[in-house]
Amino acid sequence: MDNTTTPDYFRDVTDLHGIEADSWRLLQAAVHDRSCGWRLPALATCSNREVRQRTVVLRKVDDQPRRIFVHTNIRSPKLKSINNNPNVSWLFYDAVRQVQLQLTGLATVHTDDDIAEQIWQDETELSLRGYLAPYVPGTVQSAPESNLPDDVGQRIPQREELSKARANFAVISSAVDTADWLLLRPDGNLRARFTYEAGAVSTVDWLAP
């Protein structure tokens, strides 16, 4: 979409419930739309007074109850941080639609349950190749290191070759407690806040941008 076409989301900017519903519609679309900025949120964690953010790929979005999912290496430092403190924050920005969404909520790590298994099964071989990583992510290396075994560096592995990668695979899911929506507009920005209880909308408010 460019700025000259009719907006496909957030058409009625007076309708708070419509904006909330559209935010979840756009999150769901972003999972499958590589051009959508909301596909690559920043996930922020904080533990032992260390605040970290990193870009991740949004892999799945449930709207009943509201929950979002990404996957990661089971040995990555962010999982230690989440295990210490499951409070997380997510930052999404769609530069085409000029809309930001900040979510906060509690994260859960899935390794052996149905959620992890389903997302593993649904992923492409290319997305899962990184889980063949021989080294713990973030460990010091003596030379440039792709953290891929030599025999898959230049190709996409077959499904059977990925079975040993499954042990490195984890899913982070996040419930959502608050959503802060901000739309940039030439005639004045608009901002709204939504709160959730048990995965459903509990309050909707306009905020001063």
Ligand X SMILES: Cc1cc2nc3c(=O)[nH]c(=O)nc-3n(C[C@H](O)[C@H](O)[C@H](O)COP(=O)(O)O)c2cc1C
Contact positions toward ligand X, by CB under 6 A?
A: 40, 52, 54-57, 70-73, 76-78, 137-138
A 10 A CB-CB count for 28 gives 17
Nearer to ligand X, 10 or 102 (CB): 102
Burial of 45 (0-12, 13-18, 19+ CB in 10 A): buried
184 vs 2, 81, 103, 112, CA distance in Å? 14, 33, 18, 41
Nearer to ligand X, 12 or 122 (CB): 122
Nearer to ligand X, 49 or 186 (CB): 49
- Shortest distance, CB of residue 14 to ligand X, whole angstroms? 35
- Shortest distance, CB of residue 59 to ligand X, whole angstroms? 7
* Cα–Cα dist 97/99, whole Å: 5
Nearer to ligand X, 76 or 89 (CB): 76
Contacts of 38 (CB under 8 A, 6+ apart): 26, 27, 30, 58, 92, 93, 94, 101
* Cα–Cα dist 53/133, whole Å: 21
User: 63: which strand partners?
Assistant: 66
- For residue 15 the two structure tokens come to 């309708």
* Cα–Cα dist 157/184, whole Å: 43
Report residue 130: phi and psi, to 5°: -60, -20
Nearer to ligand X, 83 or 189 (CB): 83
Question: Which amino acid type is present at position 85?
Answer: N
- Shortest distance, CB of residue 58 to ligand X, whole angstroms? 8
Nearer to ligand X, 55 or 64 (CB): 55
